[in-house]
Amino acid sequence: MSTAAGSAPESEPIRAIKLKHPWRIVFAVVILVIAAVFLIDAARRPAYDWASVAKYLFDRRVSAAALVTLELTVLAMIIAIVLGVLLAVMRLSPNPVLKAVAWFYVWLFRGTPVYVQLVFWGLIATIYQTIDIGIPFTSVQWASFATQAVVNAFWLSVIGLGLNEAAYMSEIVRAGLVSVDTGQNEAATALGMSWGQTMTRVILPQAMRVIIPPTGNEVISMLKTTSLVTAVPFSFDLYNRTRDISAETFNPIPMLIVASIWYLFFTSILMVGQYFLEKRFARGIGDRRDGKGGDGGPTGTLQIVGANQPSVVMPQAHEAGRR
Amino acid sequence: MTDTSIAPAPSAAAITPMVEAVGVSKSFGSNEVLKSISLTVRPGEVLCLVGPSGSGKSTFLRLINHLETLSSGRLSVDGSLVGYRQVGEKLYELHPKDAARQRREIGMVFQRFNLFPHMTALENVMEAPQRVKRQPKAQVEQRARDLLARVGLADRADYYPAHLSGGQQQRVAIARALAMEPKLMLFDEPTSALDPELVGEVLDVMKELASSGMTMIVVTHEMGFAREVADTLVFMDGGVVVESGQPREVLANPQHDRTRAFLSKVL
């Protein structure tokens, strides 16, 4: 290679012939053919009754039901996320009482089917006919409400779905909190931050990165779980409303398609929202595209705390010395 | 002059020691990592703790700011017991709030930096004075910028830790600890996770800090730093202090076989 001496450092860009992937094309064609056959067939098949689908897709009752489903989802998830964070933090707190309460909650609400729980919530007014405020087991009573008067099927659905989901959310949040490097906790503690400050300022923001993707999953799952509120019974949500309409028209299949289109529309929007949330909480962590870091980008010195390799004197000495 | 005396200054008795350990022991389960450690650190003193891995150096450091609780003995910082309150003969566990108040006075720098990755360098330095001491933001920011300048990182204030080199991260971590205006700084192998060419910049900052009169306890493998900066060198092995004294003396003329064996490997 002695002939290279004196040649300019600027070298010619590579113009290689791209590697061919013939099987990809074959599979793509096969799938397209199958899809086309299915679509053409579906378009002609009378059972799908596309005319009815078009007629009912924007039917006032259906779009109102879609809004109810969205409300149920959002309200239930707000309860679930708030309660879930609280339960997860309780579970990891140094206080054994809080720990036990959180454990029991998750055991109870995760251990029984959501359908069964919704039936129970529906029967709450039968089980507890009045809500009394006073001193238990005495005749002292300051106020009393008829349960029937203060709750309705919608809110019972929200509570039933939210409390059930909180158990799952708490496990998701807990996994996120535990995933944060213990050094973060130590650093915050060593600075004199309280346990609460450490949680809210240091641990939770970092845990969000781990918490958000499965939470997005749970929101999408909740959107569809709302169809179970018929157990309460509550029937103004998307699925049960479309079922009721098809009970009148004796034509269930187009109504199923209508409901599916609405569910897909909402989940698609939720996926977009999740994308932006994930970007927001990736701040400072392995985001090399982020402009704020300036020239830190292309050098070999990028290091993520807790992920870099110690490369000098006795790398494991510290860890070994501690335990 | 015996080599095992730890407080060399004759006037040491007159002033309150910054750190005083008397018979400090620590066990994890049945594993006793520290066995009756006694030593004194005067205000303004720089003490280097050296020794093989597993000798209990880091654990001792973590006891001083109560990241671990001691099993027996007495440990006090600036005259007050760490983690406990003594009334008569009885010891009472401190409320976490009071323990946190004690820790504010003690800065700690970790081997793995432990910067908060979701905050910029400046935010890292500002966090504790702002949230813990509840000082006004403008004042905190000014001091944070001054501290970053002091560690040579004025132009990196808005960088996230992931965009800083290891040496820069560790210097931010030192600035973060200094922001709480501690009276004692603990360094737990501050250069062990760094690439060799980055060690110097961190040691320079520490030297500057030492010359400014800060009381420092440094667990390190950097014998050159210990020789140059430390007032006292303590060699630990197997959970006990094997020997201690003037760093030059200990390094040049170790009295104990274990010290000699260790030094022959690291020097």
Share of chain B above pLDDT 70, in %: 95
Which of A46-50, A279-283, A305-309, B30-34 shows the lowest per-residue confidence on average (mean pLDDT)?
A: A305-309
Torsion A265-A266-A269-A270 (CA) sign: negative
Put simply, the answer to whether A190 touches B199 (Cβ < 8 Å) is no
- What's the rounded Cα separation, in Å, for the pair A207 and A178? 8
| Two structure tokens written together for A292 | 């704020």
Q: Which residues of A touch B199 (CB under 8 A)?
A: 312
Of B62, B103, B161, the CB nearest to A192: B103
Pick the residue with more confidence: B14 or B221?
Answer: B221
- What's the rounded Cα separation, in Å, for the pair B17 and A8? 67
- What's the rounded Cα separation, in Å, for the pair B201 and B214? 18
- Does B58 contact chain A (CB < 8 Å)? yes
Are B39 and A300 a contacting pair, CB within 8 Å?
Answer: no
pLDDT value of position A29: 97
Q: Is the pLDDT assigned to residue A290 strictly greater than 60?
A: no
Per-residue model confidence as pLDDT tens digits over A183-232: 999 999 999 999 989 999 999 999 998 998 899 999 999 999 999 999 99
Q: Is the pLDDT assigned to residue A303 strictly greater than 80?
A: no
Q: Is the pLDDT assigned to residue A301 strictly greater than 80?
A: no
Per-residue model confidence as pLDDT tens digits over A261-275: 999 999 999 999 888
Of A191, A292, A311, the CB nearest to B158: A292
pLDDT value of position A209: 87
Parallel, antiparallel, or unpaired for β B72-77 and B80-81?
antiparallel
Are A83 and A166 a contacting pair, CB within 8 Å?
Answer: yes
pLDDT value of position A105: 97
Q: Is the pLDDT assigned to residue B111 strictly greater than 90?
A: yes
- Does B194 contact chain A (CB < 8 Å)? yes
Between positions 224 and 263 of B, the ones with CB within 8 A of A are none
Per-residue model confidence as pLDDT tens digits over A16-40: 888 889 999 999 999 999 999 999 9
**CA angle at B180 for the pair B175 and B186, rounded to the nearest 5°:** 70
Q: Is the pLDDT assigned to residue A321 strictly greater than 60?
A: no
Per-residue model confidence as pLDDT tens digits over A95-146: 999 999 999 999 999 999 999 999 999 999 888 888 888 888 888 888 888 8
pLDDT value of position A308: 38
Average pLDDT over chain B reads 91
pLDDT value of position A277: 86
Of B59, B104, B115, the CB nearest to A321: B59
Put simply, the answer to whether B117 touches A193 (Cβ < 8 Å) is no
Residue A323's pLDDT band, with cuts at 50, 70 and 90, is very low
Residue A142 burial by Cβ neighbours in a 10 Å radius (0-12, 13-18, 19+)? exposed
Q: Is the pLDDT assigned to residue A238 strictly greater than 60?
A: yes
Q: Which CATH class is domain A52-281?
A: mainly alpha
Pick the residue with more confidence: A308 or B169?
Answer: B169
Put simply, the answer to whether B117 touches A284 (Cβ < 8 Å) is yes
Q: Is the pLDDT assigned to residue A285 strictly greater than 50?
A: yes
Q: What is the mean pLDDT of residues B120-129?
A: 96
pLDDT value of position B1: 40
Distances (CA, A) of A49 to A40, A110, A241, A253, A263: 14, 41, 19, 8, 19
DSSP state of A200: I
pLDDT value of position A8: 60
The number of CA neighbours under 13 Å toward the Cβ of A222 is: 32
Q: Which residue of B has its CA nearest to A320?
A: B54
pLDDT value of position B5: 44
Residue A147's pLDDT band, with cuts at 50, 70 and 90, is confident
Of B56, B96, B165, the CB nearest to A194: B96
Name the residue with tokens 């650190």.
B41
Per-residue model confidence as pLDDT tens digits over A71-88: 999 999 999 999 999 999
Q: Which residue of B has its CA nearest to A208?
A: B118
Reported as type and span, the H/E element at residue A253 is helix A252-280
DSSP state of A143: E
Name the residue with tokens 């800083």.
B164
pLDDT value of position A300: 35
pLDDT value of position B13: 53
The overall pTM is greater than 0.80: no
ipTM value, please give it: 0.89
- What's the rounded Cα separation, in Å, for the pair B110 and A225? 47
Q: What is the mean pLDDT of residues B125-136?
A: 95
Of B106, B189, B199, the CB nearest to A318: B189
Per-residue model confidence as pLDDT tens digits over B51-81: 998 889 999 999 999 999 999 999 999 999 9
Count CB-CB contacts under 10 A for residue A161.
27
Residues, chain B: 267
Put simply, the answer to whether B118 touches A313 (Cβ < 8 Å) is no
pLDDT value of position A78: 97
pLDDT value of position A280: 82
